[in-house]
Chain A
Amino acid sequence: MTLDRAGSGDSVTVVTLPSGEVRSSLVRLGIEEGACITCILKMPAGPVVVRHGNTDVALGRHIASQIEVTEAEGAAHRGARGRWGWRWGHRQGRG
Chain B
Amino acid sequence: MGLALGPQAGARLMRCHGAATGAVAPTTGKKIVLAGNPNTGKSVVFNYLSGLYAEVSNYPGTTIDFHQGRLGENAVFDTPGTYSVASHGEEERVARNLILQADVLVNVVDATHLERDLFLTLHLLDLGIPILVALNMMDEARAQGMSIDLELLSKLLGVPVFPAVAVRRQGLAELKASLDRAATAPLHPELETRLRNVNVNGLSRAESVLLLEGDPATAQSHNTEPLPFRDELYQWRRGRVNELVAQVVTRTARGASWRSRIGYWMMHPVTGVPLLLATLFVMYKVLGEMVAGNVVGFTEGTIGQGLWAPFIRGLVTRLFSEGSVVETILTGQYGLLTMTFIYLFGVILPLVIGFYMLLAVLEDSGYLPRIAVMLDNLLQRVGLNGRAVIPMILGLGCVTMATISTRVLSTKRERMIATFLLALAIPCSAQLGVILGILAAIGAGWYALAFVGTIFAVFIVAGTLLSRFIPGKSTDLLLDIPPVRVPRLNNVLRKTFSKATMFIREVALFFAIGALLLSVLQLTGALQAVQDILAPLTERWLALPKETATAFVMGFVRRDFGAAGLYQLSLTPLQALSSLVVITLFVPCIASVLVIMKERGYKYLIAAWVASLATAFLVGGIVAQIGRAVTG
Do they bind each other? Answer: yes
Could you pull out 5 A-B pairs where Cβ atoms are within 8 angstroms?
Answer: A25-B478, A27-B235, A46-B376, A53-B113, A54-B116
| Shortest beta-carbon distance from A45 to chain B in Å | 6
CB distance from A78 to the nearest CB of B (A): 15
| Cβ of B373 under 8 Å from chain A | yes
Nearest B residue (CB) for A26: B478
Query: What is B's interface to A at a CB cutoff of 8 Å?
Result: 83-84, 86, 88, 112-113, 115-116, 119-120, 144, 230-231, 234-235, 238, 241-242, 253, 255-256, 261, 263-264, 267-270, 369, 372-374, 376-377, 380, 385-386, 476-481
> A18's closest neighbor in chain B, by CB?
B476
Q: Are B476 and A86 in contact (CB under 8 A)?
A: no
Closest to A21 in B: B88
The one of A47, A55, A63, A88 in contact with B116, judged by C-beta atoms closer than 8 angstroms, is A55
Q: Say yes or no: A32 contacts B377, CB within 8 Å.
A: no
With the chains together, A84 CA to B265 CA distance in Å? 11
* B351 CB to nearest A CB, Å: 33
Contact check, B256 vs A90: say whether CB atoms are below 8 A apart. Answer: yes
Q: Are A58 and B376 in contact (CB-based, < 8 A)?
A: yes
Known contacts A24-B86, A30-B115: does B255 contact A88 (CB below 8 Å)?
yes
Distance of A19 Cα from B228 Cα, bound (Å): 13
The minimal Cβ–Cβ distance linking A9 to chain B, given in whole angstroms, is: 11
A28 at the interface (CB under 8 A from B): yes
**Min CB distance, A46 to chain B, in Å?**
4
**Known contacts A24-B84, A46-B376, A84-B270: does B115 contact A58 (CB below 8 Å)?**
no
Cβ A29 vs Cβ B116 within 8 A? yes
Q: Which single residue of chain B is at the shortest CB-CB distance from A93?
A: B251
Q: Given that A30-B116, A41-B264 are known contacts, is A56 also in contact with B480, CB under 8 Å in the complex?
A: yes
Q: Are A55 and B373 in contact (CB under 8 A)?
A: no
Residue of A nearest to B475 (CB): A60
Chain A residues lying within 8 Å of B373, measured Cβ to Cβ, are 41, 43, 46-47, 49, 58
Q: A interface vs B, CB < 8 Å?
A: 19, 21-30, 32, 40-41, 43-47, 49, 52-63, 84, 86, 88-91
Q: How far is the CA of A45 from the CA of B139 in the complex (A)?
A: 38
Q: State the CA gap A22–B410 with chains docked (Å).
A: 12
Q: Which residues of chain B have C-beta atoms less than 8 A from A53's C-beta?
A: 113, 115-116
Could you tell me the dominant secondary structure of chain B's interface residues? helix
Please determine whether A25 and B264 come into contact, CB atoms closer than 8 angstroms.
no
> Which of A26, A40, A52, A60 is the one whose CB lies under 8 Å from B376?
A60
* B53, chain A: closest CB distance, angstroms: 28
Known contacts A43-B373, A88-B256: does B119 contact A58 (CB below 8 Å)?
no
Instruction: With both chains docked as a complex, state the minimum distance between the C-beta of A50 and any C-beta of chain B, in angstroms.
Output: 10
Within 8 Å CB of B264, what residues of A? 40-41, 86
A56: nearest chain-B partner, CB-CB: B481
Report how far A29 CA is from B460 CA in the complex, Å.
33
Given the complex of chains A and B, what is the CA–CA distance between A90 and B257 in angstroms? Answer: 11
Closest chain B residue to A30 by CB distance? B115
Bound Cα distance from A57 to B478, whole angstroms: 7
The residue in chain A whose Cβ has the minimal distance to the Cβ of B116 is A55
A29-B83 in contact (CB<8A): yes
How far is the CB of B40 from the nearest CB of chain A, in Å? Answer: 12
Residues of B close to A22: CB separation below 8 A: 476, 478
Give chain B nearest CB distance to A16 CB in angstroms. Answer: 13
- Shortest CB–CB separation between residue A28 and chain B, in angstroms? 4
Distance in angstroms between the alpha carbons of A8 and B428 in the assembled complex: 38
Docked-complex contact B234 and A60, CB < 8 angstroms: no
Whether A23 lies near B231 (C-beta < 8 A) is: yes
B234 engages A27 (CB within 8 Å):
yes
| Contact present for A91 and B119 (CB under 8 Å) | no
Measured in the bound complex, the distance between the Cα atoms of B234 and A51 in whole Å is 20
Q: Is the beta-carbon distance between A57 and B234 smaller than 8 angstroms?
A: no
Complex Cα–Cα for A29 and B463 (A): 31
A57 contacts B83, CB within 8 Å?
Answer: no
Instruction: Given A41-B264, A90-B256, answer yes or no on A47-B144 (Cβ-Cβ < 8 Å).
Output: no
Q: How long is the Cα–Cα vector from A54 to B260 in the complex, in angstroms? A: 10
User: Whose C-beta in chain A lies nearest to the C-beta of B146?
Assistant: A54
Question: What chain A residues lie within 8 Å of B231 (beta carbons)?
Answer: 19, 23-24, 27
Residues from chain A with Cβ under 8 Å of B261 in the complex: 88
Tell whether A57 pairs with B268 under 8 Å between CB atoms, given A24-B231, A30-B116, A89-B255: no
Answer whether A43 and B481 are a contact pair too, CB < 8 Å, given A28-B84, A30-B238: no
Please tell me if the beta carbons of A59 and B84 are within 8 angstroms of each other in the complex. no
Known contacts: A41-B264, A43-B376, A60-B376. The answer to whether A55 contacts B113 by CB under 8 A is yes
Known: A47-B386, A60-B477. A25 touches B253 (CB 8 A): no
Q: For B120, list chain A residues within 8 Å (CB).
A: 28
> Which of B230, B477, B480, B481 has the most chain A CB within a 10 Å cutoff?
B477
- The answer to whether B476 and A62 have CB atoms under 8 Å apart is yes
Q: With A24-B84, A29-B116 known to touch, is A43 a contact of B377 (CB < 8 Å)?
A: yes
C-alpha gap A90/B261 in the complex (Å): 11
Contact (A57, B481) CB under 8 Å given A24-B234, A43-B376? yes
Question: How many angstroms between the C-alpha atoms of A79 and B323 in the bound complex?
Answer: 80
- Docked Cα-Cα span, A22 to B230, in Å, equals 12
Pairs A-B, 8 closest by C-beta atoms: A60-B476, A89-B255, A46-B377, A60-B477, A28-B83, A56-B481, A58-B479, A58-B373
A58 to B266, CA, bound (A): 14
Whether B386 contacts A58 by the Cβ 8 Å rule is: yes
Known contacts A46-B376, A58-B478; can you find 9 more A-B pairs with CB under 8 A?
Answer: A24-B231, A28-B238, A29-B480, A40-B264, A47-B373, A47-B477, A57-B478, A57-B479, A84-B270
